[in-house]
């Protein structure tokens, strides 16, 4: 993980190493410990990271993801006054996903075995599916059902199920065999209790792809710009903070760039 994050600079790396040395990261399962993975920060105190590491690829990506949140908290709290230290969800998932994208690039670069590379490419494709396309589908589900409510149309479980099933079929095409239970997928998404939360995963993922590309391209300003973004907290509007990191979400470019990367991955996977 540490090697993959080298494009973020020595200061970033040394700070992240100190998280481990100072035991800010709780990675092992213990009796009564909750599941999941979390970063928690209190202004004036170092970040805390909690997860259950199982010594597998998913755990490696989860740790890398949460360390991205932790470092975002470290920089934001360290460079902003209390009132603007807490960043928004819109930018939070950028910091965590940049780390994941850098990790997958590093692993692909180091992969010598064709089967290993095949697995890693598939992992990246599945990441696109879960963090980009599926979240957009969830967001469209929210948009449709909220519009129905505004129009005074009745909403119940059957309506939600019908809307969700239609979207699921539209997004997944005719190649899949659909179980009847697919239509109940909306009921397992707790994020719907926070309206219009989920689309930020997709925008964050697209932003992270573009930032990671800049960091890996040798752009002399990419590292500095990205660290300034991490230090920004909520001192400016999220779109403006992202522009400082080199991502302009007021244009189609970040989304188109992410879709181009997805096409490249699918093309490579089909030839492996």
Report whether 27 contacts 67 (CB < 8 A). no
For tokens 């992410």, the residue is 258
Distance of CA 2 to the CA centre of its chain: 19
Burial class (CB in 10 A: 0-12, 13-18, 19+), 125: middle
Catalytic residue among 11, 14, 66, 253: 66
Q: Is 66 a catalytic residue?
A: yes
Nearest by Cα to 38 from 59, 69, 13: 69
The Cα 262–Cα 266 span in angstroms is 6
Tokens of 186: 């909306």
Catalytic residue numbers, as ranges: 66
């Amino acid at each position: 993980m540490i090697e993959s994050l080298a494009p973020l600079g020595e200061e970033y790396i040394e700070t992240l190493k100190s998280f481990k040395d100072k035991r800010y990261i709780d990675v092992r399962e213990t009796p009564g410990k909750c599941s999941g993975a979390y970063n928690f920060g209190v202004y004036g105190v170092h970040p805390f990271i909690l997860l259950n590491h199982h010594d597998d690829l998913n755990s490696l990506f989860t740790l890398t993801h949460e360390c991205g949140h932790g470092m975002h908290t470290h920089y934001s709290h360290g460079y902003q006054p209390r009132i603007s230290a807490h960043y928004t969800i819109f930018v939070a998932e950028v910091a965590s996903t940049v780390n994941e994208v850098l990790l997958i690039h590093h692993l692909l670069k180091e992969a010598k075995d064709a089967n290993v590379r095949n697995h890693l490419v598939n992992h990246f494709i599945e990441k696109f599916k879960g963090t980009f396309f599926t979240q957009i589908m969830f967001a469209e589900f929210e948009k449709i059902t909220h519009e129905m409510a505004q129009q005074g149309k009745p909403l119940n479980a059957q309506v939600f199920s019908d809307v969700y099933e239609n979207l699921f079929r539209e997004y997944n095409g005719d190649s899949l065999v659909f179980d009847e239970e697919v239509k109940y997928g909306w009921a397992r998404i707790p994020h719907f209790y926070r309206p219009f939360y989920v689309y930020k995963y997709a925008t964050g993922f697209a932003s992270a792809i573009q930032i990671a590309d800049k960091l890996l391209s040798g752009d002399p300003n990419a590292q500095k710009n990205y660290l300034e973004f991490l230090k920004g907290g909520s001192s400016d509007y999220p779109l403006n903070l992202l522009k400082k990191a080199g991502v302009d979400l007021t244009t189609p470019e970040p989304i188109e760039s992410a879709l181009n990367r997805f096409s490249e991955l699918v093309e490579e996977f089909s030839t492996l």
